[in-house]
Structure formats: C-alpha cells, structure tokens
Structure 1
C-alpha cells in the first residue's frame, strides 16, 4: 500500500503554488514581492489534543465498508482471508527520522491505544513487529516511482524490498497473519507530509489495506481530503481488533460476526438508516487518477476530468464524489479558464453543502473561491467564502490548509482596508505554514504566491 507523490487530490496546489515543497532544495531568489521575504518566521506551531468526530452513519453501511476495506486491495485484487497482528504490537523507528516525526508518531500511537484499543508500543532496540524506516524521498521513489511512502509485509529494511518482492514475500494475498511489516516514510519533506504518511501507512500496516472513494470521512480514501485518522477510522480499527475476529477468517465468517461487533462498539449506529452509497466504477477511478496523477499532458488531464464528471452524472451521484469531480475539473481549468474553473468550484461547494459532514471538503473549495475573489479585488466576497473554515482546518489538523486560509484572509483584509488586522493574521499563519510547508523557502514562497493574488500588490497596483 502506498501514498502517491502529490497524491490524487492536490487540494492546495492551486495556481498559488507548485505541488508543495518537494524533495530538492530550492534557493531563495530575489523577486518583485519582497515583503514576504522580509518577514521573520516564528516558531513552528503544533496541534493540541485531537478532536475526532464520531461517525454518524448506519452500522449497516459501516459493516459493508469494513468488509470492502478488509478483503480487497487498492488494485481491485481480492484478499482470501482476514489478517492482523494477534499479539501486542511492537514498533521501532530506524533511519534518520526528523524530530517532528517522533513527536507525531508518539501522538499517533497514543491515539491508537486510547481510541482504537490497540496494544501497540514503540521500542528503541531489538526486533519489532513494525519497523518505520525514515529515508529520503529519492530512495523511496527508486523502488516505487510514484510513491511518497508505502508499507510492505515480511521485511524490515528498504534495502530488502526488491529481493523480497521478486520472491513473492511482499504479496498481501498470501498473508494469513501479520508478524513483521515495514513502513517507509520520507524524512526530507514537510512535517505534515511525513505525519500524513505515518497516519495512512501505519493504519494500513495494522488494519485494512484498501481505499474506497465512497467514504466521506476517512483517510482510507484516495481523494486525500482527510490527513489524520478520523473517528470513523478509529472505529474501523477498533472493530478490526475485536476479540470475535482472528486471522485466517473468510469474508463470510467476518461478516457473520460484524453486526454484533458494531452494535457493541457503536450503538448509535444501530438507529441510523443505511444510505447504501453505490459502488465506485473503475472507469471513474481511472479517469480521476489520469486527471490528477503524474505523467499526463494537460490536454489529457482535462479530458480525463471531463470524463470523470460525465461518469458521476450518469451514475446519478449527489454525494462527495460528484463534488470531487467538479473540484478536480476546476483544478485543471484554473490556468486556462479561471471563470469556468470557479463555476466548477462553486458547483462542488453546493454539493458539499447539501451533504452532511462535508465541512472539511468545503474548506478546500473555499480556498479556491476566495483566491479567485481576491484576484478580482473583491475582498468582502473572499471573507464570506473563507467564513469559519479556519476552525475546520484546525480541528482536522491540516496545517497546510489552515495556513493557506489565513494567508488568503490577510489579503482579503488588506483589500477591505483592514491593514493592521491583515498583518496580524498573516504573521499568525506562518507558524502553521512552517509545519505544513516545511522549509523556510517554501513558507516564504507560499506567502509570496498568495500575496501575488492581490491586485493592490501588482507593480501598478
């Protein structure tokens, strides 16, 4: 299982910036907008206690999700049996982990023990069930060119991956029980990108291996909206380690026990009517991956995004997948037809607004719509779009989104003449930007890109 480089959604890769801080150093060069370069960067900010939102869905829907997550791979291959760790899990970190990674890992392990009831602890030496090796992004991509991070069974070092794959040892379909796994994460990206890899890959190391686009509230979804494990994810992991289950069970055996497990763990879900979200056709998945994945020409990307939207409309969807289809097309139209792109962002926002639990999705569209309003000198409109989305980004622990929303708010405030307030918001954004974007040059580049949206700051503005 792997997290892709600049993976699928790229929600903050607006026309504001490239795809986040990359793996190679970028020198700071003099530019027209010298103001952001002059700002001294404050200390990096960190999130406080997690505030996950419990799922508000039917246990019948959650049970179906559990089975599809647990008995299928992202490629579509079926898993013949259920597999998990059957003893307390030990975890060891090797390589060269950044300091922020260790703090984020300990916070994640604490959440897994507290919220998912999983007996997992970090050890400092000796063999461990899970080894997290922190290496460079280049080292990871030498093995999997499109991967930002990944997890594989039956090895403990990246150096062993190729040989193990050649002899079939990394084939998840052959695994009956989990005893030894390795997670490979980059140590030369932003703190948030490393943390996001930890959440996704460790969750798959100990739990389900599949991703489902139909899930609106989960990291087990390639749309990349959620960066950290959600309340739904923790419920899935708690059920995964329920005493009623064991490694080697078939799908039918797990399905027979699952209703009782979910009734015990999530009694509120017993009284909610199921929605039975339709399956996601492979054609839509392929179109989205072509549109937003690597290695495709701009024209082919736009064609693929149009095809994804067409499929979503033919399927009759009204959920977040239709919204994401509009959002993706808007992303790809920004450089060639900004007005049309905004129409698709607005359509996505309207769909998200009509579906419950879409606050985080709306925060991403708000960034796009506010950015466009700023380019048109409509500061009041931008402030309306931004609304209270900063609180949403903070609750969901997305510093990249939070910093961007704050920078946009600062430009909107400047446009409305509230210069002192704008400067305070701008300065406050930088601590979050240091976590979300990493290197000082990347923080200043993001600040400069957002500042450049403001017509008042053009050479003749």
Structure 2
C-alpha cells in the first residue's frame, strides 16, 4: 500500500540531459515514491498553499466500482489474498508526530475536511478516540536504511518507528492478520517536500482507512502504482464512502461483502445503475513483475528496458487498450531516452495516444507531453515544444501537479528564449518559480531543474545551427 520509490518513472528524466505505500511485515513493503506526480494548489501557488476542492471526474458504473472494490479490499499489493474485510469501526482520530514539516498540519486538515465532506467518514484531528491513525515523520536516512524502496508507507498496530524496526515481521504488523482496524501508523520522511508530504498523506491515510491494494488498471485513483494521481479523486472518495457504508462491517467474507455491495452502490451512487454481474479484469502477476523490475534499481538498464518491453508484450497479448498498456509504453519510453531516442519517441507517442482516449487520464497525458516537449526542445523545434507545453498545462493544473507545472514552464521559457521572445521567456520563468516553491521544496532544486532544461535548449540550438 503506498508509493514505491522505484515507481517514480513518472517523474521527470527529460531526455538524456535530465537523466517515488506499504504494508505487510511478512513481505517487502511497496511504497510511494518521492517526487513524481506531485500536486498542488489551485489557489495561490506563490504562497504554496493548496485549496481543497472536490475532484472532478466521471465515475464508472456501479458494477465496475464493485468489481474494483473487491480486488482493492481482498488482496494486498503482493498478491496475497485477504480472508476478511476490515475497517475502523467508529470515529477515527489522525495525528502527527516527530519532526513535523511546516506544511503537514495544514495539508492534514484539508485532507480530513475532504474525507468528511466527500466520503462522509467520521475522521478528525482531535485526539481522544480509541481508533487512531498516527503519521510519524522519520529522518529519510533512517527510513532508507530499513525500507530502501519505500518513500512512505503504512502499517497496522505499530506504536512508533522503533517499534516498527524491532517488530516489522511480527504478526501484529501484518495486515492479513488484522480482524478489525484500531490503529495504523504512517511513516513519511521528515525532509519531504510540501508536495511529497501531501502525496503521502493522501495515499497512506486513505489506505489506512480503506483499500489495501493498488491496481494498475485504475486511471483516476491514487491506488495505482503508476503514481500519476497523487490527490484523492472522486473515484477514491466513492470507494471510501462504500468502505464505511452501514451495510458493511469488519469480519465479513468476500461473498458477504459482494452481496452487500449490490445494495450499497445503488444507494450512494444512484446514477451508476444496478451492480448486477461484472466481468473480472485481473492483472497477471507477470505484468506486475515486469513493471516492478523495469521500475526497480536492482537490475541493469538493459534488463530494466527488457522488462518494460515484456510488459508491452503482455499488454498486447491481453488485448489491453487502457492504462496498463499505456503505462508499459511510458515505462519503455522513460528507460530509452538516454540510449535509444527513436524507441523512446515511439513509446511516448503510443502511450500518449492511449492515454488521450481514457477518461480521467489527463494527468498521464500531461506527463507524456512534457517528455515529448523536452524532446522537441532538444531537437531545436521550439514551436513544437511550446505547443506540447500548452496542451499539458491544463491537465497538469487540474491534476494539481506543481512540480510538473514548474517543469513545463521551464521548457516554455527556454523555447521562447530560443525564438528570441525574451519577455515571454521571463514570464514563464516567473510562473515556474511560483509552482516550484511548493513542488520542489527548495531554490536549489529549481536551479538544478532549470539547468537541465537549459542544457536541452542548448542541444537544440546546436542541432539547428
């Protein structure tokens, strides 16, 4: 459950010049990565303050929601099956501990407000409830020493970081052994940027409350290890609302939950129709393994690229034309930018073509366009780079992705500079700086990204001249 550090292929390695929650103690935690699909504010970016607004989006049918609910709630990310449904019973308090970053209390307050207003969950930041979710901020070095692939993660029943270190393989820290949730602890690096803090709060707290699995087929959900979505969506809120429906309770079996969902969804989502029967749509473990190898750090670059190609081939064999097929192409593109630009361009073009047909996949399309804009800039095609940036800005803004917004404006600035439009270039740099304060967390990080994009522009100028 969470954001795997290795899954941040959706971040920003722009062409060759721009060369990351977890659970069960019985298995290596998967986790949220540290800075790919990082979101932001729709209000005042210069202040680095996000405004909580309900996320838009078209919900799938109730039959599809019920199918997803069963797979999200009765399996762990490792593929282990869960024998019973669990949740918190009664009000839940959520608190912060450790060296809490300045942005965290406000981000948590916004999240709790949304969980109450959009999903109807009885959550609060006030202490005193028997049910408790604690977010503990831990030095990044300490976290990486224990769980190197996890940027942030959630476990049940632990009372501190030291307790987790000493007892991470104890049965009480195993989600599969939980019969009713009463305590969960989220671990986040104390040095995380404001966006990384928010990313982790949204995914890890939502999984402490609800689904324990991630599904690659979900285009508009934080419960997807592609990590494009970072803020809880309308889809996510509907699933959390179903999780705490009065028809359900901890200890129910899968058939009991399935039967109850036939009443739950028509009641909470009347426009979604009857649940009826649904078609299963599982992701083969071979695809998951291929993607994890492609995104991991343990294999060589050639092996990782081969794994991404294997994921593309599995997608084709399955007849997929949705998020799983697109993400396989995206991963292949990202792994090819340095030594095989032709393959990278073809892969990104295929990924973008698929993502643009998927409702709710705007942020994914924006990431693809950012990569293509970087290629155009490095090839000396400044006008094409600007056009791609312009197409990506709106979905990046709707996806509340400040780091992506900052990078897009940097590409726009260099493209305008190449064209001799210095006023437009300076305006784009100022826009980038405003988003970067929230997205990158430091001026040094912004300067490093700006230098990388400038290197692309210089490469493009050499090509043209």
| Closer, same or farther: CA 278–166 of 1 in aligned 2, 3 Å | closer
Aligned positions of 1:4-153 closer than 5 A = 4-15=4-15, 16-17=17-18, 43-123=46-126, 129-153=132-156
Shift of 1:128: 6.1
| Closer, same or farther: CA 275–85 of 1 in aligned 2, 3 Å | closer
Matched, 1:435 2:438: yes
| Closer, same or farther: CA 149–66 of 1 in aligned 2, 3 Å | same
Shift of 1:339: 2.5
Q: Partner of 2:420 in structure 1? A: 417
Counterpart secondary structure, 2:52: coil
Aligned equivalents of 2:78, 2:240: Cα separation in 1 = 21
Shift of 1:243: 0.8
Q: Partner of 1:170 in structure 2? A: 173
Question: Which deviates the most, 271-280 or 391-400?
Answer: 271-280
Aligned equivalents of 1:271, 1:91: Cα separation in 2 = 35
| Closer, same or farther: CA 411–282 of 1 in aligned 2, 3 Å | same
| Closer, same or farther: CA 438–181 of 1 in aligned 2, 3 Å | same
Contact 2:315 2:325 in 1 (8 A): yes
Contact 2:188 2:197 in 1 (8 A): yes
Counterpart secondary structure, 1:330: helix
Aligned equivalents of 2:407, 2:93: Cα separation in 1 = 37
| Closer, same or farther: CA 340–18 of 1 in aligned 2, 3 Å | closer
Matched, 1:263 2:263: no
Shift of 1:142: 2.6
- What's the TM-score, normalizing by structure 2? 0.89
Shift of 1:189: 2.2
| Closer, same or farther: CA 272–345 of 1 in aligned 2, 3 Å | farther
Q: Partner of 2:160 in structure 1? A: 157
| Closer, same or farther: CA 440–122 of 1 in aligned 2, 3 Å | same
Q: Partner of 1:404 in structure 2? A: 407
Shift of 1:277: 6.9
| Closer, same or farther: CA 45–170 of 1 in aligned 2, 3 Å | same
Shift of 1:328: 0.8
Aligned equivalents of 2:241, 2:129: Cα separation in 1 = 27
| Closer, same or farther: CA 4–121 of 1 in aligned 2, 3 Å | same
Counterpart secondary structure, 2:168: helix
Contact 2:411 2:453 in 1 (8 A): yes
Contact 1:104 1:195 in 2 (8 A): yes
- What's the TM-score, normalizing by structure 1? 0.90
Contact 1:84 1:178 in 2 (8 A): yes
Q: Partner of 1:33 in structure 2? A: none
Gaps of 5+ in 2: 21-32, 36-44
Matched, 1:369 2:372: yes
Aligned equivalents of 2:82, 2:325: Cα separation in 1 = 29
Counterpart secondary structure, 2:347: helix
Aligned equivalents of 1:22, 1:195: Cα separation in 2 = 11
Q: CA RMSD in A?
A: 2.4
Map Cα deviations across residues 326-367 of structure 1 (whole Å, 9 max, x no partner).
Answer: 111111110002132111111111111223332111101000
Aligned equivalents of 1:7, 1:340: Cα separation in 2 = 20
Contact 1:394 1:402 in 2 (8 A): yes
Aligned equivalents of 2:181, 2:34: Cα separation in 1 = 33
Question: Which deviates the most, 302-311 or 63-72?
Answer: 302-311
Shift of 1:388: 3.5
Contact 1:57 1:272 in 2 (8 A): no
Shift of 1:216: 1.1
Aligned equivalents of 2:335, 2:49: Cα separation in 1 = 32
| Closer, same or farther: CA 22–426 of 1 in aligned 2, 3 Å | same
Map Cα deviations across residues 91-131 of structure 1 (whole Å, 9 max, x no partner).
Answer: 22110111112211111111111111111111368986111
Aligned equivalents of 2:133, 2:278: Cα separation in 1 = 37
Aligned equivalents of 2:413, 2:372: Cα separation in 1 = 15
Shift of 1:55: 3.5
Aligned equivalents of 1:336, 1:274: Cα separation in 2 = 47
Matched, 1:240 2:243: yes
Shift of 1:271: 7.8
Shift of 1:144: 1.5
Residues matched between the structures, number: 442
Shift of 1:391: 2.0
Contact 2:216 2:323 in 1 (8 A): no
Map Cα deviations across residues 192-250 of structure 1 (whole Å, 9 max, x no partner).
Answer: 11211111110110111000111111011101110111110000001100111111111
Matched, 1:193 2:196: yes
Q: Partner of 1:306 in structure 2? A: 309
Aligned equivalents of 1:257, 1:321: Cα separation in 2 = 29
Gaps of 5+ in 1: 24-41
Aligned equivalents of 1:9, 1:269: Cα separation in 2 = 34
Aligned equivalents of 1:226, 1:192: Cα separation in 2 = 12
Counterpart secondary structure, 1:131: strand
Contact 1:8 1:289 in 2 (8 A): no
